[in-house]
Chains A and B, each alone.
Chain A
Amino acid sequence: GAVVSQHPSWVICKSGTSVKIECRSLDFQATTMFWYRQFPKQSLMLMATSNEGSKATYEQGVEKDKFLINHASLTLSTLTVTSAHPEDSSFYICSARDQGEEQFFGPGTRLTVL
């Protein structure tokens, strides 16, 4: 089956630093990648959709200048949380889709901002 990896799986950083999370499709080309966030005891919430080579589309309430998304190739998308603050502490998970309907998820990244 299609495999999506994320790195790192867990990161702790100081307030004010920027953190980059990578999402890779390992055995297929992902025309579209999605970034989700999950706060404790809440649903996965879509943050943004990115298509290779074009700007990401952000959901309402998600600051594009704070959550920078780059989808430079068909197998890699990155999410950079800029100037992270404790309220950005969350579980971030990506998914990738090729030409079909199905989205394949990475294992997620837990971000803790001190």
Chain B
Amino acid sequence: ILNVEQSPQSLHVQEGDSTNFTCSFPSSNFYALHWYRWETAKSPEALFVMTLNGDEKKKGRISATLNTKEGYSYLYIKGSQPEDSATYLCAFVVAGNMLTFGGGTRLMVKP
């Protein structure tokens, strides 16, 4: 059983704050790491697919880094806005493309 953990489970920040959260995963048999943003009553939306150690990806105010040797990825949000409120999921992928999800970090941004 692959153990993918996300921390914290939930996070409350003020509008304008920058924040980050962690996804940790097994460091062996790594193929890829996916990040998703999941708003209530909507489909999870793919943010990043990360494959190489040292990868850094950016989409607007959101960025992510990857360390496959130590088995973690960080997701950063700069200047959080209320519309960033969502659950952020990471999913670890071994060969065969099966996604193993973490429990998610629920972010709430207060105006």
Chain A facing B: main interface SS: strand
Q: Tell me if A97 is interfacial: C-beta within 8 Å of chain B.
A: yes
Size of interface on B: residues with Cβ below 8 Å to A: 21
Known A34-B99, A43-B104: A105·B44 in contact at CB below 8 Å: yes
A19 adjacent to chain B (CB < 8 Å): no
**B103-A107 in contact (CB<8A):** no
A46 & B43 in contact (Cβ 8 Å cutoff):
no
Given contacts A101-B32, A106-B43, contact A44 B101 (CB under 8 A): yes
The answer to whether A107 and B101 touch (CB under 8 A), given A44-B89, A101-B32, A102-B46, is no
Tell whether, in the assembled complex, residue A4 and residue B43 are in contact, meaning their CB atoms are under 8 Å apart. yes
Known A-B contacts A101-B32, A101-B49, A102-B49; A43 and B43 likewise in contact (beta carbons under 8 Å):
no
Assembly CA distance A23 to B77 (angstroms): 32
- Pick the contact of A101: B36, B43, B97, B103 (CB < 8 A): B97
Distance in Å from the Cβ of A8 to the closest Cβ of chain B?
Answer: 13
A32, A46, A105, A106 — which one has the most chain B CB atoms within 10 A of its CB? A105
Say whether A92 faces chain B, with CB atoms less than 8 Å apart.
Answer: no
Q: Is A78 in contact with chain B by the CB < 8 A criterion?
A: no
Q: CB of A67 within 8 A of chain B?
A: no
- Which B residues, 22 to 67, have Cβ-Cβ distances below 8 Å to chain A? 32, 34, 36, 41-46, 49
Contacts of B101 in A (CB 8 A): 36, 43-45
Extra contacts, 5 of them, besides A36-B101, A44-B101, A103-B34 (Cβ < 8 A), are: A43-B4, A43-B102, A95-B99, A105-B36, A105-B44
Please list the residues of chain A having a beta carbon within 8 angstroms of any beta carbon in chain B.
4, 32, 34, 36, 41-46, 49, 93, 95, 97, 101-108
